Structure 1
Amino acid sequence: MVLSKVGKKINDYATLVMFSHTIFSLSFAVISMMLASKGSPSIHTIFWIIVAFMGARTGANAINRVIDAEIDEKNPRTFMRQLPQRMLKKKEVIVFTAVCFLVMVIAAAMLNPLCVMLSPIALFLMIIYSYTKRFTWTCHLVLGITSAAAPVGAWIAVTGEISWVALFMGAANTLWVSGFDIIYGAQDYEFDTINGIHSIPARFGIKNALCFAALFHVVTVILLVFVGILSGELGVIYYIGLGIISILFIMEHRIVSPDNLTNVKIASYGINQIISITFLIFGFVAVIVK
């Protein structure tokens, strides 16, 4: 009985923080780490980057659920989530979030001084994002910028400084996440409009929002090309990966339209998980093979 309850609690938290979505920014963090270390990161660096990443993204998703609990309860799409259904208590999720963020800061301290100095900015972004939908349609970009802390932070963790490669990688991560978040947000167009929730679909309409998303993903590929050029560490294998990613982006945008949003989840999450894994595999091999 005790083990059953513990198992259920773990499953509830894994669902709460969308553990299966970890791959989205992890791939960018890993490739950034590999580039910064020229393919040879130390075990110490790998370990603490992963700990910092997991603490940050888990805490960010948990606090997002707390802050959005009332909105989620009203939305027919989200009212079955753990907090609206009282499967978890707000106080315990807040404590869980605090522990995750503490783990992130400790991991940053184990890496280098600049990581620690910048950690308050990362924490601020992870918390403020959940409030942005209440006052600005740029909330998707704020989410993207928050996600970009992964590759930029990984670079800083290795080198102790910021470079153009890291910034281009962060910009690509920003527009990639922002783009598929816009697609995902299209399904809440009516709810957002009625309840005063700000988003690009609610502000500009679904058709224009999907155009924004497509533009963001075109620029994402362009920025990743610049990453390859600037790094000097990536060759043909990397660009083959980008070619596959470009095809996946085209598929993603072809299966959704203003008149047909039935494939929104596949487009925004399913295909982008494949994109992330593709970027991770081809980027990793490219750095190793050179």
Structure 2
Amino acid sequence: MTSAGSRDGFTDIRPDGWIDRLAPAAARPYLKLARLDRPIGTWLLLFPCWWSQALATQGWPDPWMMILFAVGAVTMRGAGCTVNDILDRDIDGMVERTRSRPIPSGQVTVRQALAFLVLQLLIGLAVLVQFNLFTILLGAASLVLVFTYPTMKRITWWPQAFLGLTFNWGALVGWAAVTGGLDLPAVLLYAAGIVWTLGYDTIYAHQDKEDDARIGVKSTALRLGDASKIWIYGFYTLTYGGLLAAGLVAGLGIWFQMVLLAAVLQLAWQVGTWRPDDQMDCLVKFKSNRWFGWLVLGAIVAGRVL
């Protein structure tokens, strides 16, 4: 790619990261397959769980439950990436950013990746069974999304919407883990998470738009094109509206609303300063959603304890 801000051999895999420096050589390809060197995806999967748990809790959220969600997010994000890389191995080999991933580069075979996937799913199951029966069933249902999402870029211009359905399932699971059921605040939080994902993953998809167009892969970055900024402003406005509605329905007051405004400013900064043709800037803005996640969590906790 030769777009502004890009470079030859652009990749988000750091050859000098902690895995290459600290992990045993035999484990390195598997740790990279699970994206343990790039934790932003884990954060984006984890925050809806924590938001919902905090929203359903009177007072401070249970630390042990937060730890369980964290372990589950690491494991299931890794499982999702493994499924994605198995199904996309031929496509990944044709995309500049992804051709050095373990499967297309030949570091891990498909059979080895499948065995690693089973291990991750077993760990995820061990975490899930710590919760009530309704939460176990709800969490197990998410596997339908985990296994179907990677195929969506082949059939729809809106695979980011399906990622939103998948990555924000924790907004339902977190509430269920605390209450044993589902209520309107959890549904509103889930909807807010979906449009949040539409925003940040459209930014992310702009990294690959030239390669995607060349090989015939669909994305919102290609569908929305030069209008992406306007659409993302819209997605993020709906995110704010959904979060505000979830908090108000759950009984949160002024402290929640005040801290949530800081989170909204973070979203506005993302889009206002985003350079869609700069691959590195796309990655930076995408990763900055970690701070948005913390601000929303802070808003919900503030609304519960202050």
Q: Which of the five TM-score ranges fits, normalised by the shorter chain?
A: 0.7 to 0.9
Does 1:109 pair with 2:126? no
Aligned to 1:175: 195
Maintained 8 Å contact 1:53/1:150? no
The equivalent of 2:282 in structure 1 is 264
139, 149, 153: which one pairs with 2:159?
139
Q: Is 1:231 aligned to 2:260, yes or no?
A: no
Deviation at 1:213, TM superposition (A): 2.0
Shift of the 274–50 alpha-carbon distance from structure 1 to 2, 3 Å rule, reads closer
Tell me the distance in 2 between the aligned counterparts of 1:139 and 1:235: 35
Q: Say whether residues 1:88 and 2:108 are aligned partners.
A: yes
Residue identity in the other structure for 2:272? R
Residue 226 of structure 2 is aligned to residue 207 of structure 1: yes
Q: Pick which of 34-43 and 87-96 moved more.
A: 34-43
Segments of 5+ residues of structure 2 without an aligned counterpart are: 1-20
| Distance of 2:59 and 2:82 partners within structure 1 | 33
Could you say if the C-alpha distance between residues 37 and 203 of structure 1 is closer, same or farther in structure 2, counting changes exceeding 3 Å?
same
Q: How does 1:34-45 map to 2 (within 5 A)?
A: 34-39=54-59, 45=65
* Structure with greater helix share of residues: 1
Alpha-carbon contact 2:83-2:117 (below 8 Å) kept:
yes
Counterparts of 1:7 and 1:51, CA distance in 2? 22
Q: TM-score, normalised by structure 1?
A: 0.88
Report the residue type matching 2:230 in the other structure.
Answer: C
Counterpart check, 1:280 vs 2:300: no
The RMSD of aligned alpha carbons is 2.4
Match of residue 218, structure 1, among 230, 234, 237: 237
Task: Give the 5 Å matches for 1:24-173.
Answer: 24-39=44-59, 45-173=65-193
Deviations along 1:186-222, whole A, 9 cap, x unmatched? Answer: 2222221221101122233x21233222211110011
2:269 is equivalent to residue 251 of structure 1: yes
Deviation at 1:43, TM superposition (A): 6.3
**Which shifted more, 121-130 or 13-22?**
13-22
Q: What secondary structure sits across from 1:197 in the alignment? A: coil
5+ residue gaps, structure 1, are none
1:23–1:277 CA contact under 8 A, matched in 2: no
Question: SS where residue 242 of structure 2 aligns?
Answer: helix
Identity of aligned residues (%): 23
Q: 1:107 to 1:41 in 2, by over 3 A?
A: same
TM-score, with structure 2 as normaliser: 0.83
Distance 1:58 1:262, change over 3 A: closer
* Match in the other structure for 2:5: none
SS at match of 1:274: helix
Partner deviation per Cα, 1:158-203 (whole Å, 9 max, x = no partner): 2121111111111111111221101111222222122110112223
- Residues in 1 aligned to 2:26 and 2:187: alpha-carbon distance in whole angstroms: 38
Alpha-carbon shift at residue 259 of structure 1 (Å): 5.4
Distance 1:256 1:37, change over 3 A: closer
8 Å CA contact retained: 2:206, 2:277 = no
